[in-house]
Amino acid sequence: MDISEYINKVKSNEIDIIEHTKKVIQECRKINKEYNYFNVISEELALEQAKELKKRIKKKDTKGNLFGVHVSVKDCVCVKDVESRAGSKILFGYRPVFDATVIQKAKEQGAIIIGKTSQDAFGYGSFNVNVGLDFKIPKNPFDKERATGGSSGGAAGITQKLDLPHIAISESTGGSIAAPASYCGVIGLCPTYGRVSRYGLMDYANSLDKIGVMSKNIEDCAVLLHVIAGHDNKDSTSLEEPVENYPEFVNKKSRLKIGIIKESLAKGIDPEVKDSVLNTIKKLHDNGIKTQEVSLPLVFKYGVQTYYLISLTETSTNLAKFCGMRYGYEEKLEGNFNEYFSKIRSNAFNREAKRRIILGTFARMAGFRDAYYSKAMKVRTLMIQEYKKLFKKFDLLVCPTMPNVAPKFYEIDKLTPMQNFMMDIMTAGPNLAGFPHLSMPCGPEDNLPVGIMFTADHLEEKKLIQIAGIIEKLK
Amino acid sequence: MKIDEDLIKHVAETARLNLTQQEIKEFLPQLKEILGGFSEISKVNTNHVKPSFHAVEIKDVLRHDIPKKPLTQEEALKNTKHKKDGYFLGPSAV
């Protein structure tokens, strides 16, 4: 059942929203026991919202594009009164006293928030294995010995596994929507930087963070994106451009021209991934969509390094505020400021957070800043130009989302940190340059999922929705 | 540039992190590998290129100067155990 059909049944009381919400929560708990997709299941809030909607149904006040839709939220997005930790122990016990703008907008349209989904602590990972201290690693819905992908692994896993209408609010800094969407076989759309307000999002890297959507089909994705997109006075980096009616583009026909990124299909990619992606491109070509090979040499050679230099530099400053005062993890107040702060941070950040803070601090220290951080900012300019040149001729660029299918946990353990970072080779570019991108499943249904990724020019989310609509119909 | 234990300890101290000897031992080769990889970007010619602090153009914006209701004292203090007489309680400053 798609979201629009579901909403109609809720509004007409054919589906009892309170009973259905209980069923959704029960199902989430059952799945969570086995797969660890939620850090918190917010049953109390969900039932409270369901009861409120029930009252409105009785009064025939059923306005809302998400009326009764169950929405999960990545842990780094603040939900009022629900423990929100960005997957890290350092935010233990933190219950925001406000809603992030995306949550406020979703609630206004009748969404029911069901819980906070698992992530790599602060988004630090491509596999969701870098969870915070005392958190559990989520497991791939197709094979529990494999990773979900990260960092929005919980969002992707529950989207795949929950067999009831549901949409996920997730977040990407360098590929955290696309990667888990690919490994878990769902749709993941990361919008243009600034298209969706970041107010209430716990920063990883503020020039790169974007809140986006995960769903089972493109219509659901378009409906939620349409609700959460738009300018917000509370976020000075949110764009003032008008929001298009995204759901209208799901079935809209147009002549799209697609560039196939040749570097993405070169050596190092799993043959099954390459075959699935090329088969889908062939089907598009056979259906009248023009395709042509293109090149993004700079992005594919230096994208990962540039992305990490910028993100780690920014994150090392963003995480400076977490110190065991005012909110989050606390210990007995002992020693002076520096001693107390250092003790808290050392005891509550996981290894990956420490590693990234040290790298970022190093990259912005006097004497190194020009060689690393400032240089990376300039390389980013060149990469944006490289993309923009292609977008003059092409509507979309296509490549695999990840170079592989979901790896097994022991395979991830063998990767060195740099090999680990290089897994973001496909996703670093569009994230670094702020371009909207979408991953959707494209492989044979009886195998592990393979993701195909499309990237569009800034604010051209509608083209991503169009192409996803076309591919869904080809299946 | 020499990446050694002393440098890691210095950077960690700057970032307010107490690393264990085991963490230092683990991080040292990793940081060498990562920073070596990052140094690759020095090969890109960026002469006369302006830095992009954001991927899209962000305009300087000033909001209207309209007073709004801030968090109440109770809300602001809600998430901490360390409070006294309506104030946050912190470690000693000296």
Q: Which CATH class is domain A1-475?
A: alpha beta
pLDDT digit string (tens) for A409-457?
999 999 998 899 999 999 999 999 999 999 999 988 888 999 999 999 9
Write out pLDDT tens, residues A292-321.
Answer: 999 999 999 999 999 999 999 999 999 999
Instruction: Please tell me the predicted confidence (pLDDT) of residue A367.
Output: 82
Q: Which two tokens stand for residue A211?
A: 């809140």
A151 is catalytic: yes
Give per-residue pLDDT as tens, A217-265: 999 999 999 999 999 999 999 999 999 999 999 999 888 999 999 999 9
* Min Cα separation A377/chain B (Å): 5
pLDDT reported for residue A230:
98
- CB pairs A-B closer than 8 Å: 176
* Alpha carbons A85 and A82: distance in angstroms, whole number: 10
Bridge partners (DSSP) listed for residue A143:
A140
Query: End-to-end distance of chain A based on CA atoms, in angstroms?
Result: 17
Give the distance from CA A218 to its chain's centroid: 15
Structure tokens at A76: 């780094």
| Tokens linked to A145 | 């010995």
In this structure, are residues A276 and A185 in contact, taking their beta carbons and an 8 Å threshold?
no
Q: How confident is the model at residue B94, as a pLDDT?
A: 74
Phi/psi for A243 (5° steps) reads -95, 130
Tens digit of each residue's pLDDT (9 = 90 or more) over A363-419: 998 788 888 999 999 999 999 999 999 999 999 999 999 999 999 999 999 999 889
Please give the pLDDT value at position A2.
84
- Token pair for A65: 């594009």
3-state secondary structure of A333: coil
For testing the chain A interface, which of B5, B38, B84 should be mutated: the one with the most A CBs within 10 Å? B38
Q: Report the chain A residue with the minimal C-alpha distance to residue B62.
A: A236
When CB atoms are compared, the residue of B19, B49, B61 closest to A236 is B61
Nearest-CA distance from B35 to chain A in Å? 8
What pLDDT band is residue A340 in, cutting at 50, 70 and 90?
very high
> In the annotation, is A332 catalytic?
no
Q: Are the CB atoms for A99 and A79 separated by under 8 Å?
A: yes
Arithmetic mean of pLDDT over chain A: 96
**Residue A229 DSSP class:** B
Best of A124, A323, A361, A384 to substitute, by most chain B Cβ atoms within 10 angstroms, is: A361
CA distance A260 to A248: 26
How much is the pLDDT for A116? 98
**Which segments in chain B show pLDDT lower than 70?**
1
Query: Nearest-CA distance from A261 to chain B in Å?
Result: 21
Candidate list A72, A88, A151, A197, residue with the active-site label: A151
| Residue A389 a catalytic site member | no
For chain A, how many helices (H) and strands (E)? 16, 11
DSSP B48: T
Contact A308, A421 (CB under 8 A): yes
CB contact under 8 A, A325 and B31: no
What is the spatial distance between Cα A132 and Cα A119, in angstroms, rounded to a whole number?
A: 9
β-pair partners for A467? none
